[in-house]
Chains A and B, each alone.
Chain A
Amino acid sequence: MLELLLALGGLVLLRDSVEWEGRSLLKALIKKSALCGEQVHILGCEVSEEEFREGFDSNINSRLVYHDLFRDPLNWSKTGEALPGGPLEALRALCRRTDPGPVTVALDSLSWLLLHLPCTTLCQILHALSHQDSCHGDSSPGEQVHVLGLLHEELHGPGPLGALSSLAQTEVTLSGVMGQASAHILYRRPQQRPTHQTQWFSILPDFSLELQGGPPLESQPNPDPHTPSTDPTTHLTFNLHLSKKEREAKDSLTLPFQFSSEKQQALLRPGLSQATSHIFYEPDAYDDLDQEDPDDDLDV
Protein backbone atom coordinates (compact mmCIF):
# COMPACT_ATOMS: atom_id res chain seq x y z
CA MET A 1 0.00 0.00 0.00
CA LEU A 2 2.83 2.39 0.84
CA GLU A 3 4.43 1.92 -2.57
CA LEU A 4 1.17 2.73 -4.28
CA LEU A 5 0.75 5.88 -2.22
CA LEU A 6 4.22 7.07 -3.15
CA ALA A 7 4.06 5.95 -6.79
CA LEU A 8 2.25 8.92 -8.22
CA GLY A 9 4.45 11.59 -6.75
CA GLY A 10 3.20 15.08 -6.09
CA LEU A 11 1.10 15.85 -3.03
CA VAL A 12 -0.17 13.02 -0.85
CA LEU A 13 -2.83 14.36 1.50
CA LEU A 14 -3.37 12.41 4.74
CA ARG A 15 -6.69 13.43 6.27
CA ASP A 16 -7.06 12.36 9.87
CA SER A 17 -9.26 13.12 12.86
CA VAL A 18 -8.94 13.14 16.64
CA GLU A 19 -10.27 9.58 16.75
CA TRP A 20 -8.08 8.20 13.93
CA GLU A 21 -4.73 9.87 14.00
CA GLY A 22 -2.58 10.04 10.90
CA ARG A 23 0.89 10.76 12.23
CA SER A 24 1.76 7.05 12.43
CA LEU A 25 0.90 6.59 8.75
CA LEU A 26 2.93 9.69 7.91
CA LYS A 27 5.90 8.22 9.75
CA ALA A 28 5.40 4.90 7.97
CA LEU A 29 5.52 6.69 4.61
CA ILE A 30 8.61 8.61 5.70
CA LYS A 31 10.30 5.37 6.71
CA LYS A 32 9.43 3.87 3.32
CA SER A 33 10.88 6.88 1.47
CA ALA A 34 14.03 6.83 3.58
CA LEU A 35 14.52 3.10 2.94
CA CYS A 36 14.25 3.80 -0.79
CA GLY A 37 17.23 6.07 -0.48
CA GLU A 38 15.43 9.39 -0.53
CA GLN A 39 16.30 12.30 1.66
CA VAL A 40 13.37 13.40 3.78
CA HIS A 41 12.80 16.97 4.89
CA ILE A 42 10.27 17.35 7.70
CA LEU A 43 8.68 20.65 8.56
CA GLY A 44 7.70 19.89 12.15
CA CYS A 45 5.14 22.24 13.67
CA GLU A 46 3.19 20.08 16.06
CA VAL A 47 5.63 17.79 17.82
CA SER A 48 9.19 18.22 18.96
CA GLU A 49 12.08 16.72 17.03
CA GLU A 50 12.77 14.08 19.70
CA GLU A 51 9.17 12.96 19.76
CA PHE A 52 9.07 12.75 15.95
CA ARG A 53 12.29 10.76 15.66
CA GLU A 54 11.12 8.26 18.29
CA GLY A 55 10.64 4.82 16.82
CA PHE A 56 12.98 5.29 13.86
CA ASP A 57 16.31 3.50 13.91
CA SER A 58 19.54 5.40 13.37
CA ASN A 59 19.77 4.42 9.69
CA ILE A 60 16.51 6.17 8.96
CA ASN A 61 17.12 9.05 11.33
CA SER A 62 20.30 9.92 9.47
CA ARG A 63 18.24 10.54 6.34
CA LEU A 64 15.76 12.83 8.09
CA VAL A 65 16.28 16.58 8.17
CA TYR A 66 13.98 18.12 10.76
CA HIS A 67 13.11 21.79 10.36
CA ASP A 68 11.94 22.73 13.85
CA LEU A 69 8.90 24.97 13.88
CA PHE A 70 7.71 23.46 17.18
CA ARG A 71 9.89 25.14 19.72
CA ASP A 72 9.34 28.76 18.80
CA PRO A 73 7.25 29.15 15.65
CA LEU A 74 6.13 32.72 16.29
CA ASN A 75 9.43 34.00 17.70
CA TRP A 76 8.01 34.71 21.17
CA SER A 77 11.14 33.83 23.05
CA LYS A 78 13.33 36.14 20.95
CA THR A 79 16.40 34.06 21.63
CA GLY A 80 17.27 33.79 17.96
CA GLU A 81 16.63 30.06 17.92
CA ALA A 82 13.48 30.34 15.86
CA LEU A 83 13.61 29.66 12.13
CA PRO A 84 14.08 33.05 10.52
CA GLY A 85 11.02 34.40 8.78
CA GLY A 86 8.70 31.98 10.48
CA PRO A 87 6.71 29.26 8.75
CA LEU A 88 6.33 31.03 5.41
CA GLU A 89 10.03 31.50 4.92
CA ALA A 90 10.73 27.94 6.04
CA LEU A 91 8.35 26.66 3.35
CA ARG A 92 9.86 28.86 0.66
CA ALA A 93 13.34 27.67 1.63
CA LEU A 94 12.18 24.11 1.00
CA CYS A 95 11.04 25.16 -2.46
CA ARG A 96 14.39 26.71 -3.25
CA ARG A 97 16.33 23.66 -2.13
CA THR A 98 18.71 22.61 -4.82
CA ASP A 99 20.06 19.23 -3.62
CA PRO A 100 20.01 16.70 -6.37
CA GLY A 101 18.24 13.40 -6.09
CA PRO A 102 14.79 12.31 -5.12
CA VAL A 103 13.40 13.94 -2.05
CA THR A 104 10.38 13.69 0.17
CA VAL A 105 8.98 16.69 2.01
CA ALA A 106 6.73 15.93 4.97
CA LEU A 107 4.54 18.68 6.39
CA ASP A 108 3.49 18.00 10.00
CA SER A 109 1.06 19.45 9.83
CA LEU A 110 -0.68 21.15 6.95
CA SER A 111 -3.41 22.09 9.43
CA TRP A 112 -1.00 24.15 11.50
CA LEU A 113 0.22 25.91 8.36
CA LEU A 114 -3.34 26.49 7.17
CA LEU A 115 -4.29 28.07 10.50
CA HIS A 116 -1.33 30.44 10.40
CA LEU A 117 -0.96 31.26 6.71
CA PRO A 118 -3.49 32.44 4.15
CA CYS A 119 -4.96 29.52 2.23
CA THR A 120 -4.03 30.94 -1.19
CA THR A 121 -0.39 31.46 -0.20
CA LEU A 122 -0.18 27.93 1.15
CA CYS A 123 -1.76 26.47 -1.98
CA GLN A 124 0.66 28.34 -4.22
CA ILE A 125 3.65 27.13 -2.25
CA LEU A 126 2.36 23.56 -2.21
CA HIS A 127 1.87 23.66 -5.97
CA ALA A 128 5.41 24.97 -6.45
CA LEU A 129 6.78 22.37 -4.03
CA SER A 130 5.09 19.37 -5.61
CA HIS A 131 5.93 20.36 -9.16
CA GLN A 132 9.59 21.01 -8.61
CA ASP A 133 10.71 18.32 -11.03
CA SER A 134 9.14 20.19 -13.94
CA CYS A 135 11.16 23.29 -13.05
CA HIS A 136 14.51 21.57 -13.20
CA GLY A 137 14.94 20.86 -16.90
CA ASP A 138 17.76 18.42 -16.45
CA SER A 139 16.17 16.14 -13.89
CA SER A 140 15.31 12.65 -15.01
CA PRO A 141 11.67 11.56 -14.96
CA GLY A 142 12.43 9.14 -12.14
CA GLU A 143 13.24 11.94 -9.73
CA GLN A 144 9.92 12.81 -8.29
CA VAL A 145 9.20 15.06 -5.40
CA HIS A 146 6.89 13.57 -2.85
CA VAL A 147 5.07 15.99 -0.62
CA LEU A 148 3.30 14.35 2.32
CA GLY A 149 0.84 16.61 4.09
CA LEU A 150 -0.95 15.71 7.33
CA LEU A 151 -4.32 17.46 7.58
CA HIS A 152 -6.71 17.39 10.54
CA GLU A 153 -10.06 17.42 8.84
CA GLU A 154 -12.20 18.80 11.63
CA LEU A 155 -10.26 22.02 11.93
CA HIS A 156 -11.08 23.48 8.56
CA GLY A 157 -14.09 24.46 6.54
CA PRO A 158 -15.06 22.97 3.20
CA GLY A 159 -13.34 25.76 1.20
CA PRO A 160 -9.75 25.20 2.32
CA LEU A 161 -10.27 21.44 2.41
CA GLY A 162 -11.52 21.48 -1.17
CA ALA A 163 -8.65 23.67 -2.31
CA LEU A 164 -6.04 21.36 -0.80
CA SER A 165 -7.86 18.31 -2.08
CA SER A 166 -7.75 19.63 -5.63
CA LEU A 167 -3.98 20.00 -5.38
CA ALA A 168 -3.43 16.45 -4.23
CA GLN A 169 -2.53 13.57 -6.53
CA THR A 170 -3.36 11.08 -3.81
CA GLU A 171 -5.77 11.55 -0.95
CA VAL A 172 -5.98 9.22 2.05
CA THR A 173 -8.86 9.60 4.50
CA LEU A 174 -8.40 7.73 7.76
CA SER A 175 -11.24 6.17 9.67
CA GLY A 176 -11.99 2.84 11.17
CA VAL A 177 -14.25 0.61 13.16
CA MET A 178 -13.80 -0.94 16.59
CA GLY A 179 -10.14 -0.08 16.93
CA GLN A 180 -9.25 -1.21 13.40
CA ALA A 181 -8.02 1.59 11.17
CA SER A 182 -8.90 1.92 7.53
CA ALA A 183 -7.71 4.17 4.75
CA HIS A 184 -9.92 5.31 1.96
CA ILE A 185 -7.55 6.19 -0.87
CA LEU A 186 -8.33 8.33 -3.88
CA TYR A 187 -5.81 8.23 -6.74
CA ARG A 188 -5.81 10.98 -9.33
CA ARG A 189 -3.69 9.66 -12.16
CA PRO A 190 -3.14 12.13 -14.99
CA GLN A 191 -5.55 11.71 -17.91
CA GLN A 192 -7.41 8.96 -16.11
CA ARG A 193 -10.50 8.83 -13.98
CA PRO A 194 -9.89 8.96 -10.25
CA THR A 195 -9.87 5.56 -8.61
CA HIS A 196 -10.90 4.65 -5.09
CA GLN A 197 -9.62 1.95 -2.81
CA THR A 198 -10.30 1.07 0.81
CA GLN A 199 -7.63 -0.71 2.79
CA TRP A 200 -7.69 -1.93 6.38
CA PHE A 201 -4.31 -1.72 8.04
CA SER A 202 -2.40 -1.35 11.26
CA ILE A 203 0.91 0.36 11.96
CA LEU A 204 3.46 -1.66 13.90
CA PRO A 205 5.68 -0.05 16.56
CA ASP A 206 8.58 0.18 14.11
CA PHE A 207 6.36 2.05 11.66
CA SER A 208 6.02 -0.70 9.14
CA LEU A 209 2.58 -1.33 7.74
CA GLU A 210 0.56 -4.48 8.21
CA LEU A 211 -2.42 -4.97 5.94
CA GLN A 212 -5.59 -6.43 7.42
CA GLY A 213 -8.29 -8.28 5.58
CA GLY A 214 -11.18 -6.31 6.90
CA PRO A 215 -12.87 -5.03 10.00
CA PRO A 216 -12.73 -7.32 13.05
CA LEU A 217 -15.43 -10.02 13.17
CA GLU A 218 -17.04 -8.56 16.27
CA SER A 219 -17.84 -5.47 14.31
CA GLN A 220 -21.25 -6.83 13.38
CA PRO A 221 -23.71 -4.53 15.08
CA ASN A 222 -24.74 -6.11 18.36
CA PRO A 223 -28.39 -7.03 18.66
CA ASP A 224 -30.20 -4.29 20.48
CA PRO A 225 -29.72 -5.14 24.15
CA HIS A 226 -33.11 -3.68 24.99
CA THR A 227 -35.21 -6.03 22.81
CA PRO A 228 -36.87 -8.41 25.28
CA SER A 229 -36.34 -12.07 24.65
CA THR A 230 -39.47 -13.01 26.64
CA ASP A 231 -43.05 -12.21 25.74
CA PRO A 232 -44.32 -9.53 28.14
CA THR A 233 -47.90 -10.74 27.85
CA THR A 234 -47.17 -13.90 29.83
CA HIS A 235 -47.46 -14.02 33.62
CA LEU A 236 -49.92 -11.19 33.89
CA THR A 237 -52.31 -10.79 36.80
CA PHE A 238 -55.12 -9.76 34.51
CA ASN A 239 -56.68 -11.33 31.45
CA LEU A 240 -55.82 -9.87 28.07
CA HIS A 241 -57.77 -12.37 26.00
CA LEU A 242 -61.45 -13.31 25.78
CA SER A 243 -62.77 -16.82 25.95
CA LYS A 244 -65.30 -18.02 23.33
CA LYS A 245 -68.29 -17.56 25.58
CA GLU A 246 -67.16 -14.11 26.63
CA ARG A 247 -66.70 -13.12 23.00
CA GLU A 248 -70.20 -14.32 22.13
CA ALA A 249 -71.70 -12.43 25.02
CA LYS A 250 -69.80 -9.34 23.99
CA ASP A 251 -70.91 -9.58 20.40
CA SER A 252 -74.56 -10.06 21.32
CA LEU A 253 -74.63 -7.10 23.66
CA THR A 254 -76.70 -4.18 22.40
CA LEU A 255 -75.33 -0.82 23.15
CA PRO A 256 -77.62 1.55 25.06
CA PHE A 257 -77.80 4.26 22.42
CA GLN A 258 -77.83 2.03 19.39
CA PHE A 259 -81.30 2.01 17.77
CA SER A 260 -82.18 -1.51 16.78
CA SER A 261 -85.45 -3.11 15.78
CA GLU A 262 -85.97 -4.64 19.22
CA LYS A 263 -85.72 -1.25 20.79
CA GLN A 264 -88.17 0.18 18.33
CA GLN A 265 -90.75 -2.49 19.19
CA ALA A 266 -90.22 -2.00 22.89
CA LEU A 267 -90.92 1.69 22.55
CA LEU A 268 -94.00 1.33 20.41
CA ARG A 269 -95.70 -1.40 22.43
CA PRO A 270 -96.84 -0.44 25.85
CA GLY A 271 -94.75 -2.18 28.44
CA LEU A 272 -96.15 -5.41 29.91
CA SER A 273 -95.37 -4.37 33.37
CA GLN A 274 -97.32 -1.36 34.52
CA ALA A 275 -95.44 1.77 35.22
CA THR A 276 -94.08 1.41 38.69
CA SER A 277 -93.19 5.01 39.07
CA HIS A 278 -95.55 7.74 40.12
CA ILE A 279 -95.16 11.45 40.16
CA PHE A 280 -96.43 13.21 43.24
CA TYR A 281 -97.18 16.84 42.54
CA GLU A 282 -98.01 19.34 45.24
CA PRO A 283 -99.11 22.59 43.62
CA ASP A 284 -98.00 25.84 45.18
CA ALA A 285 -100.38 28.69 45.91
CA TYR A 286 -99.21 30.59 42.84
CA ASP A 287 -99.45 27.76 40.38
CA ASP A 288 -101.93 28.13 37.63
CA LEU A 289 -103.45 24.72 37.22
CA ASP A 290 -105.20 24.83 33.93
CA GLN A 291 -106.14 21.35 32.80
CA GLU A 292 -106.67 22.50 29.30
CA ASP A 293 -104.05 21.67 26.77
CA PRO A 294 -102.40 24.94 25.79
CA ASP A 295 -101.61 23.62 22.36
CA ASP A 296 -105.30 23.02 21.51
CA ASP A 297 -105.60 26.09 19.41
CA LEU A 298 -102.73 25.04 17.18
CA ASP A 299 -104.00 23.62 13.96
CA VAL A 300 -101.63 20.65 13.89
Chain B
Amino acid sequence: MFPELNNLLNTTPDQAEQGKLTLLCDAKTDGSFLVHHFLSFYLKANCKVCFVALIQSFSHYNIVGQKLGVSLTTARERGQLVFLEGLKSAVDVFFRPQEDPHPLQFLREANSGNLQPLYEFVQEALKPMDSGEAAWRCPVLLVDDLSVLLSLGVGAVAVLDFVHYCRATVCRERKGNVVALVHDSGDAEDEENDILLNGLGHQSHLILRAEGLATGFCKDVHGQPKGSS
Protein backbone atom coordinates (compact mmCIF):
# COMPACT_ATOMS: atom_id res chain seq x y z
CA MET B 1 0.00 0.00 0.00
CA PHE B 2 1.15 3.53 -0.52
CA PRO B 3 1.57 5.51 2.71
CA GLU B 4 0.97 8.76 0.85
CA LEU B 5 -2.50 7.59 -0.16
CA ASN B 6 -3.22 6.59 3.41
CA ASN B 7 -2.26 10.08 4.53
CA LEU B 8 -4.41 11.62 1.85
CA LEU B 9 -7.41 9.54 2.93
CA ASN B 10 -6.57 9.92 6.60
CA THR B 11 -6.77 6.21 7.24
CA THR B 12 -4.60 3.28 8.31
CA PRO B 13 -5.20 -0.48 8.09
CA ASP B 14 -6.12 -0.50 11.79
CA GLN B 15 -8.77 2.15 11.39
CA ALA B 16 -10.31 1.16 8.08
CA GLU B 17 -13.88 2.38 7.74
CA GLN B 18 -16.64 -0.12 7.13
CA GLY B 19 -19.75 -0.22 5.01
CA LYS B 20 -18.37 1.97 2.24
CA LEU B 21 -18.34 1.85 -1.53
CA THR B 22 -15.18 3.39 -2.96
CA LEU B 23 -15.09 4.21 -6.65
CA LEU B 24 -11.67 4.31 -8.31
CA CYS B 25 -11.59 6.17 -11.56
CA ASP B 26 -8.78 6.92 -13.99
CA ALA B 27 -8.69 9.31 -16.91
CA LYS B 28 -5.83 9.48 -19.39
CA THR B 29 -3.65 7.42 -17.08
CA ASP B 30 -3.44 3.97 -15.55
CA GLY B 31 -5.25 3.79 -12.23
CA SER B 32 -4.34 0.20 -11.45
CA PHE B 33 -1.89 1.37 -8.77
CA LEU B 34 -5.00 2.27 -6.74
CA VAL B 35 -6.20 -1.33 -7.03
CA HIS B 36 -2.83 -2.67 -5.83
CA HIS B 37 -2.90 -0.16 -2.98
CA PHE B 38 -6.33 -1.21 -1.72
CA LEU B 39 -5.57 -4.91 -2.15
CA SER B 40 -2.49 -4.72 0.05
CA PHE B 41 -4.22 -2.25 2.41
CA TYR B 42 -7.14 -4.57 3.17
CA LEU B 43 -4.97 -7.69 3.40
CA LYS B 44 -2.82 -5.89 5.95
CA ALA B 45 -5.98 -4.80 7.75
CA ASN B 46 -6.81 -8.47 8.25
CA CYS B 47 -9.98 -8.31 6.15
CA LYS B 48 -11.39 -11.17 4.11
CA VAL B 49 -10.94 -10.08 0.52
CA CYS B 50 -12.77 -11.32 -2.56
CA PHE B 51 -10.86 -10.07 -5.57
CA VAL B 52 -12.61 -10.25 -8.96
CA ALA B 53 -9.55 -9.81 -11.15
CA LEU B 54 -10.54 -9.57 -14.80
CA ILE B 55 -7.55 -7.71 -16.20
CA GLN B 56 -4.31 -9.36 -15.10
CA SER B 57 -3.14 -12.78 -14.03
CA PHE B 58 -2.72 -13.88 -10.44
CA SER B 59 1.06 -13.80 -10.69
CA HIS B 60 1.01 -10.17 -11.82
CA TYR B 61 -0.93 -9.05 -8.77
CA ASN B 62 1.23 -11.30 -6.59
CA ILE B 63 4.47 -9.76 -7.83
CA VAL B 64 3.21 -6.23 -7.29
CA GLY B 65 1.73 -7.26 -3.95
CA GLN B 66 5.11 -8.56 -2.78
CA LYS B 67 6.66 -5.19 -3.52
CA LEU B 68 3.95 -3.64 -1.39
CA GLY B 69 4.53 -6.08 1.44
CA VAL B 70 1.82 -8.74 1.04
CA SER B 71 1.91 -12.26 -0.34
CA LEU B 72 -1.21 -13.17 -2.24
CA THR B 73 -0.23 -16.82 -2.31
CA THR B 74 -0.06 -16.98 1.47
CA ALA B 75 -3.30 -15.04 1.83
CA ARG B 76 -5.06 -17.40 -0.55
CA GLU B 77 -3.74 -20.49 1.20
CA ARG B 78 -4.94 -19.43 4.59
CA GLY B 79 -8.36 -18.47 3.27
CA GLN B 80 -8.05 -14.72 3.62
CA LEU B 81 -8.14 -14.10 -0.13
CA VAL B 82 -10.64 -15.49 -2.63
CA PHE B 83 -9.26 -14.77 -6.07
CA LEU B 84 -11.31 -15.00 -9.26
CA GLU B 85 -8.74 -15.02 -12.06
CA GLY B 86 -10.88 -13.83 -14.95
CA LEU B 87 -8.30 -14.52 -17.64
CA LYS B 88 -8.05 -18.17 -16.69
CA SER B 89 -11.60 -18.98 -15.71
CA ALA B 90 -13.06 -17.30 -18.79
CA VAL B 91 -11.74 -20.22 -20.76
CA ASP B 92 -13.15 -22.73 -18.26
CA VAL B 93 -16.66 -21.49 -19.01
CA PHE B 94 -16.58 -23.11 -22.41
CA PHE B 95 -15.24 -26.47 -21.25
CA ARG B 96 -17.84 -27.37 -18.71
CA PRO B 97 -21.50 -28.31 -19.02
CA GLN B 98 -23.73 -25.30 -19.43
CA GLU B 99 -25.88 -26.27 -16.45
CA ASP B 100 -23.02 -25.81 -14.00
CA PRO B 101 -23.18 -22.29 -12.70
CA HIS B 102 -20.08 -20.24 -13.33
CA PRO B 103 -19.44 -16.66 -12.23
CA LEU B 104 -18.58 -15.62 -15.78
CA GLN B 105 -21.64 -17.34 -17.22
CA PHE B 106 -22.53 -14.20 -19.16
CA LEU B 107 -19.71 -14.96 -21.61
CA ARG B 108 -21.63 -17.93 -22.91
CA GLU B 109 -24.94 -16.23 -23.38
CA ALA B 110 -25.95 -14.73 -26.69
CA ASN B 111 -27.51 -11.64 -25.17
CA SER B 112 -25.84 -11.36 -21.82
CA GLY B 113 -28.59 -11.04 -19.30
CA ASN B 114 -27.27 -10.17 -15.93
CA LEU B 115 -24.39 -10.72 -13.55
CA GLN B 116 -26.38 -12.71 -11.01
CA PRO B 117 -23.95 -15.72 -11.15
CA LEU B 118 -21.05 -13.36 -10.45
CA TYR B 119 -22.97 -11.81 -7.55
CA GLU B 120 -23.70 -15.27 -6.14
CA PHE B 121 -19.99 -16.11 -6.37
CA VAL B 122 -19.15 -12.98 -4.37
CA GLN B 123 -21.91 -13.69 -1.88
CA GLU B 124 -20.60 -17.22 -1.35
CA ALA B 125 -16.98 -16.09 -1.09
CA LEU B 126 -17.69 -13.48 1.55
CA LYS B 127 -20.30 -15.28 3.58
CA PRO B 128 -19.75 -15.06 7.32
CA MET B 129 -17.40 -17.61 8.79
CA ASP B 130 -18.66 -20.42 10.97
CA SER B 131 -17.31 -20.19 14.47
CA GLY B 132 -14.08 -22.09 14.91
CA GLU B 133 -12.34 -20.56 11.93
CA ALA B 134 -10.15 -17.48 11.95
CA ALA B 135 -12.23 -14.35 12.34
CA TRP B 136 -11.47 -11.72 9.76
CA ARG B 137 -12.08 -8.05 10.30
CA CYS B 138 -14.73 -7.35 7.64
CA PRO B 139 -15.42 -8.59 4.13
CA VAL B 140 -14.08 -6.60 1.21
CA LEU B 141 -14.93 -6.92 -2.48
CA LEU B 142 -12.38 -5.58 -4.92
CA VAL B 143 -13.09 -5.47 -8.67
CA ASP B 144 -10.51 -4.79 -11.38
CA ASP B 145 -12.22 -3.53 -13.36
CA LEU B 146 -15.86 -2.85 -14.23
CA SER B 147 -15.29 -1.18 -17.59
CA VAL B 148 -14.08 -4.42 -19.10
CA LEU B 149 -17.49 -5.95 -18.40
CA LEU B 150 -18.99 -3.39 -20.75
CA SER B 151 -16.44 -4.39 -23.38
CA LEU B 152 -17.47 -8.02 -22.88
CA GLY B 153 -21.05 -7.17 -23.81
CA VAL B 154 -22.71 -6.63 -20.45
CA GLY B 155 -25.01 -3.63 -20.36
CA ALA B 156 -24.34 -0.66 -18.07
CA VAL B 157 -27.60 -1.24 -16.17
CA ALA B 158 -26.65 -4.89 -15.55
CA VAL B 159 -23.27 -3.82 -14.11
CA LEU B 160 -25.01 -1.19 -11.96
CA ASP B 161 -27.41 -3.87 -10.70
CA PHE B 162 -24.45 -6.12 -9.83
CA VAL B 163 -22.78 -3.34 -7.83
CA HIS B 164 -26.15 -2.52 -6.23
CA TYR B 165 -26.53 -6.07 -4.98
CA CYS B 166 -22.89 -6.20 -3.81
CA ARG B 167 -23.47 -2.96 -1.93
CA ALA B 168 -26.64 -4.29 -0.33
CA THR B 169 -24.99 -7.53 0.76
CA VAL B 170 -21.36 -6.63 1.43
CA CYS B 171 -21.70 -3.02 2.63
CA ARG B 172 -25.08 -2.94 4.28
CA GLU B 173 -25.70 -6.45 5.53
CA ARG B 174 -22.17 -7.55 6.36
CA LYS B 175 -20.67 -4.11 7.12
CA GLY B 176 -17.90 -4.63 4.62
CA ASN B 177 -16.43 -2.50 1.83
CA VAL B 178 -16.59 -2.54 -1.94
CA VAL B 179 -13.84 -1.03 -4.08
CA ALA B 180 -14.19 -0.96 -7.86
CA LEU B 181 -12.20 0.57 -10.69
CA VAL B 182 -13.89 2.18 -13.70
CA HIS B 183 -12.08 3.90 -16.55
CA ASP B 184 -13.23 7.31 -17.65
CA SER B 185 -13.38 7.35 -21.41
CA GLY B 186 -13.16 11.14 -21.41
CA ASP B 187 -13.77 12.52 -24.87
CA ALA B 188 -14.39 9.13 -26.38
CA GLU B 189 -18.14 9.59 -25.85
CA ASP B 190 -18.79 6.10 -24.61
CA GLU B 191 -22.40 6.45 -23.46
CA GLU B 192 -22.58 3.12 -21.62
CA ASN B 193 -19.37 3.85 -19.74
CA ASP B 194 -20.62 7.32 -18.80
CA ILE B 195 -23.88 5.89 -17.44
CA LEU B 196 -21.84 3.36 -15.44
CA LEU B 197 -19.42 5.96 -14.12
CA ASN B 198 -22.09 8.52 -13.17
CA GLY B 199 -24.41 5.89 -11.75
CA LEU B 200 -21.62 4.57 -9.52
CA GLY B 201 -20.67 8.12 -8.64
CA HIS B 202 -24.10 8.60 -7.10
CA GLN B 203 -23.84 5.35 -5.14
CA SER B 204 -20.28 5.81 -3.81
CA HIS B 205 -19.19 7.18 -0.49
CA LEU B 206 -15.75 8.07 -1.83
CA ILE B 207 -14.53 8.71 -5.36
CA LEU B 208 -10.78 8.59 -6.03
CA ARG B 209 -9.88 9.95 -9.41
CA ALA B 210 -6.44 9.63 -10.97
CA GLU B 211 -5.90 11.99 -13.87
CA GLY B 212 -3.07 12.25 -16.31
CA LEU B 213 -1.25 15.58 -16.23
CA ALA B 214 -2.56 18.06 -18.74
CA THR B 215 0.93 18.42 -20.18
CA GLY B 216 1.38 14.73 -20.94
CA PHE B 217 3.75 12.15 -19.52
CA CYS B 218 6.56 12.88 -17.15
CA LYS B 219 9.23 10.61 -15.75
CA ASP B 220 8.64 11.06 -12.05
CA VAL B 221 5.24 12.62 -11.61
CA HIS B 222 2.57 10.65 -13.41
CA GLY B 223 -0.70 12.28 -12.61
CA GLN B 224 -2.75 14.02 -10.01
CA PRO B 225 -5.17 12.18 -7.74
CA LYS B 226 -8.40 13.91 -6.78
CA GLY B 227 -10.73 12.74 -4.04
CA SER B 228 -14.33 13.66 -3.31
CA SER B 229 -16.92 12.16 -1.03
Chain A residues engaging chain B, CB cutoff 8 angstroms = 18-19, 21, 46, 48, 50-51, 70-74, 76, 111, 115-116, 152, 154-155
Contacts and interface: CB of A to CB of B under 8 A. Distances in A.
A152 B198 CA distance: 9
A46 to B, nearest CB: 7
Interface stretch (B66-74, B156-164, B178-186, B211-219): B156-164
A76 B202 contact: no
Nearest to B196: A155
A195 to B, nearest CB: 29
B157 A71 contact: no
Given A48-B172, A76-B116, A155 B164 contact: no
Interface string B137-172: 000000000000000000001001100110010001
The 7 closest A-B pairs by CB, nearest first: A18-B201, A154-B198, A48-B172, A115-B157, A76-B116, A152-B202, A71-B168
Interface string B100-127: 0000000000000010100110000000
B128 interface: no
A219 to B, nearest CB: 19
Given A46-B203, A115-B157, A115-B160, A76 B165 contact: yes
Chain A contact surface mostly: loop
A41 B201 CA distance: 26
Interface of B: 114, 116, 119-120, 157, 160-161, 164-165, 168, 172, 194-195, 198-199, 201-203, 207, 228
Given A46-B203, A76-B119, A70 B168 contact: yes
28 contacts: A18-B198, A18-B201, A18-B207, A19-B228, A21-B202, A48-B168, A51-B172, A70-B164, A70-B168, A70-B172, A71-B168, A71-B172, A72-B165, A72-B168, A73-B164, A74-B161, A74-B165, A76-B120, A111-B199, A115-B157, A115-B160, A116-B157, A152-B202, A154-B194, A154-B198, A155-B195, A155-B198, A155-B199
Nearest to B155: A115
Nearest to A157: B191
B9 to A, nearest CB: 19
B196 to A, nearest CB: 10
A61 to B, nearest CB: 18
Nearest to A21: B202
A18 B202 contact: yes
Contacts of A116: 157
Contacts of A155: 195, 198-199
Contacts of A18: 198, 201-202, 207
A236 to B, nearest CB: 28
Contacts of B157: 115-116
B76 to A, nearest CB: 27
B195 to A, nearest CB: 5
Given A18-B202, A72-B168, 7 more contacts: A70-B168, A72-B165, A73-B161, A73-B164, A74-B114, A76-B116, A152-B202
Contacts of B114: 74
Nearest to A153: B198
Find the residue from A19, A21, A46, A155 having the highest chain B CB count within 10 A. A155
Nearest to B19: A51
Find the residue from B116, B194, B199 having the highest chain A CB count within 10 A. B199
Nearest to B204: A18
A46 B161 CA distance: 11
Contacts of B168: 48, 70-72
Nearest to A109: B202
B165 A152 contact: no
Find the residue from A21, A46, A76, A152 having the highest chain B CB count within 10 A. A76
Contacts of A72: 165, 168
Given A48-B172, A70-B168, A74-B161, A152 B199 contact: yes
A70 B164 CA distance: 8
